[in-house]
Amino acid sequence: MRNLGPERFQSNRFIRKLLHLADASSTDIFYDLGCGIGQLCVVAVTEFGVRKTVGFESHRGRAKKAEKRVKKLGLDDRIQIKNEDFWQSDISEATIAYFGLTESEEDVADFEKKLIPGCRLVTLFLPFVGVVPKEVDYPFYLMQLPFTKTKSASLWISTVLFKKATFEELYQELDSDKEYGYDKVTFKRLVKERLINE
Ligand SMILES: C[S@@+](CC[C@H](N)C(=O)[O-])C[C@H]1O[C@@H](n2cnc3c(N)ncnc32)[C@H](O)[C@@H]1O
């Protein structure tokens, strides 16, 4: 199992921000890859009219709580909660996916295999290392399959920080960001593999 992440859920205001960024609508199927208590799925259906949503949650207690909430709200015909590791599941139906966890080594390659072309993938705090986001509404980055890989390290850094900067300045900013707890070792390794040794 990769990083499970904390029991920290987003407010409706942030959820709306990320669904607006993805331009969610009634033609979409939304997957929350690590759904906690399922609130992203609830807002996607009730406020954005998304056709169907699936929330994956590998923590049994959280998945149970999400299922109960969805039933209580009478939304179980449009929201499915799966107590599964999404990496082990078929997610190819998604037209929008949300991934709020920190990036691990294999994630880009795995998403390229698992998600369909055209799928919009929203991440939190950072885009995948070396992938150019299509749109940004910080703290959310929207990337689309097939991923656009950056032409240069400086271009990627400037899409992350919204200014030109060096790698050292990038690390300093991320280190000093109290909101964002990142896996610095993995991040630096990915930067080295994808941006420095290009
Ligand atoms: C920080 S919470 C975010 C919940 C919700 N998406 C939100 O933004 O409010 C992340 C959740 O992802 C779950 N998770 C982590 N890795 C997972 C995996 N591989 N498959 C399913 N759930 C996972 C964790 O158990 C945790 O509840």
pLDDT, residue 179, reads 82
Handedness of CA 172, 22, 56, 149 (dihedral sign): negative
* For residue 139, cis peptide bond before it (omega within 30 degrees of 0): yes
Is residue 160 in a domain?
A: no
Task: Report the nearest atom of ligand 1 relative to the CA of 10.
Answer: 9
The pLDDT-based confidence of 169 (bands split at 50, 70, 90) is very high
Residue 162 Cα to ligand 1 middle (Å): 28
Tens-digit pLDDT profile for residues 97-152: 999 999 999 999 999 999 999 999 999 999 999 999 999 999 999 999 999 999 99
Is residue 197 in a domain?
A: no
Tens-digit pLDDT profile for residues 40-95: 999 999 999 999 999 999 999 999 999 999 999 999 999 999 999 999 999 999 99
- Write down the pTM of the prediction: 0.95
Nearest alpha carbon, ligand 1 atom 14: 34
Is residue 187 in a domain?
A: no
Q: Six-digit token pair at 171?
A: 């690390």
Question: What domain range is 83 assigned to?
Answer: 12-149
Total number of domains constituting the chain: 1
Is residue 189 in a domain?
A: no
Is residue 105 in a domain?
A: yes
Q: At 18, which CATH number?
A: 3.40.50.150
Is residue 183 in a domain?
A: no
Alpha carbon 130 to its chain centroid, in Å, reads 16
> What's the whole-number mean pLDDT along residues 159-164?
95
pLDDT, residue 4, reads 56
Residue 154 Cα to ligand 1 middle (Å): 31
Task: Report the nearest atom of ligand 1 relative to the CA of 32.
Answer: 6
